[in-house]
Amino acid sequence: MPLESTIICVDNSDFMRDGDFIPTRMQAQQDAVSLIFHAKTRSNPENNVGLLTLSDGRVVTQLTSDVGKVFSKLHLLPIEGKLDFCKGIKVANLALKHRQGKNHRPRIVAFVGSPLDVDANEFTKLAKRLRKEKVSIDIVIFGEESSREKFEEFITVINGKENTNSHLICVPSGANLPDTLINTPIIQSEDGSGLPNGYSASAFAFGINPEDDPELAMALRISMEEQRRTQEAEVSRGPTNETNQANAAVPEANNNEMDVTRLTEDEQIALAIQMSMSQAESASTDDVEMKEEASAHSNTSKTNEDKQSTDTFAASLNDPQFLRDVLRDLPGVDVDSEAVRAALEQVQQQQKDSDNDKDKSKPKDGK
């Protein structure tokens, strides 16, 4: 395969939530993008691949041959907005102009799974511009047949008489997108190189054989789980909704084990995450309640001890004999002197007066 620098344009519009491709259009597209990247880098290690989103024309990953960098971004792309094909292709063309390998052929691979809404004059002008700058483009239409005629004219204008080796691939709804692309010119290049014969993209998750690169396969699975957590957090928009969803999922799993075994791998992972979040939140709530109860009990015990200690100390100060014993231990104090005796008698008299006042203040006959 000749040296190429390829920008893959991903359709991340709201139409990617549709389930006519298993499990969704977005995940089928992600598997197809992984397949193309794998084919490009395997055919020539010097090939570079970049990633761009068509809803906002944002370059997610610059041209690179680092498979981990592309795949880590690919499975975290948000689904939002509306398809803006012309803007995305213009940005991709600009990114290819700044490629490091000037001897690389520029190529754009665009996935389109949304209705095309463009101005006819701008559409034709864009095609002529790509032909003039000798940029090849492969367009994959999946699940959306309404724009097929427009793209056929677009590819015809780009190829022209010179035939710039641009292609249009139409994949009907319900088909396996990665497997359909294997035998197309996008994967099988001009010289027939690409993935080996008999290779099935759907045989492995993300189009990667775990035996060839187990670390990469594990990294992709972790990235996918992180994406699912992010999407679940965005949908729930609060811990209350997450708790309700988790509580709703757990009883269903407990009451009907057959339903759990029939779930897909993605649904089982999502259910496990929800159950884990529910258990963690329940444990956190129990810890808070136990800490509050222990704190309240500790405060009550401390208050009672302080009150009891205060009463004991006050009673000791009002006891003349206790005061005599304390004063006897003080140096230079004569407990038998007149002054000390008078002071002790005064304390004793005050104690008696205080007791009499308390007795008078008590109601008689329980009234």
Over the chain (367 residues), what is each successive 10-residue block's mean pLDDT?
Answer: 88 92 91 90 89 93 88 88 94 92 91 92 93 93 90 92 84 90 81 48 49 63 68 66 46 42 58 59 56 56 53 56 64 65 71 66 53
36 part of a folded domain: yes
129 part of a folded domain: yes
Radius of gyration, CA atoms only, the chain: 40
- Counting the structural domains of the chain, the total is 3
Same domain, yes or no, for 47 and 103? yes
User: What's the pLDDT at 367?
Assistant: 45
270 part of a folded domain: yes
125 part of a folded domain: yes
DSSP 339-362: HHHHHHHHHHHHHHHHHHHHHHHS
Same domain, yes or no, for 278 and 139? no
User: What's the pLDDT at 169?
Assistant: 94
174 part of a folded domain: yes
Query: Which of 30, 104, 110, 10 shows the shortest CA–CA distance to 64?
Result: 104
Q: Rounded to whole angstroms, how far apart are CA atoms 158 and 165?
A: 9
Q: In the β-sheet with 58-64, what is the strand arrangement from edge to edge? A: 58-64, 48-53, 4-10, 105-112, 136-142, 167-171
CB 93 within 8 A of CB 108: yes
Query: Which of 156, 19, 28, 161 shows the shortest CA–CA distance to 148?
Result: 156
Same domain, yes or no, for 219 and 330? no
Same domain, yes or no, for 283 and 334? no
Same domain, yes or no, for 119 and 63? yes
Q: Rounded to whole angstroms, how far apart are CA atoms 30 and 207?
A: 9
pTM over 0.75: no
In the three-class reduction of DSSP (H, G, I as helix; E, B as strand; rest coil), residue 270 is classed as helix
User: What's the pLDDT at 201?
Assistant: 47
Burial class (CB in 10 A: 0-12, 13-18, 19+), 114: buried
CB 24 within 8 A of CB 80: no
Final residue of a domain: which of 231, 252, 276?
A: 231
User: What's the pLDDT at 199?
Assistant: 46
243 part of a folded domain: yes
Final residue of a domain: which of 205, 231, 257?
A: 231
Query: Which of 72, 74, 211, 83 shows the shortest CA–CA distance to 143?
Result: 83
Same domain, yes or no, for 281 and 208? no
Which residues is 111 bridged to in the sheet? Answer: 140
Q: Rounded to whole angstroms, how far apart are CA atoms 149 and 147?
A: 6
User: What's the pLDDT at 58?
Assistant: 92
Same domain, yes or no, for 197 and 248? no
Same domain, yes or no, for 9 and 40? yes
Same domain, yes or no, for 185 and 130? yes
Same domain, yes or no, for 218 and 246? no
151 part of a folded domain: yes
Residues spanned by the domain of 254: 239-291
Same domain, yes or no, for 193 and 277? no
Taking the CA atoms of 267, 270, 276 and 279 in sequence, report the sign of the dihedral they define. negative
Structure tokens of 98?
A: 């700044």
Cβ–Cβ contacts within 10 Å for residue 60, how many?
Answer: 17
User: What's the pLDDT at 294?
Assistant: 55
186 part of a folded domain: yes
Same domain, yes or no, for 243 and 226? no
Structure tokens of 132?
A: 């003039």
Q: Rounded to whole angstroms, how far apart are CA atoms 136 and 266?
A: 36
CATH number for the domain harbouring residue 101: 3.40.50.410
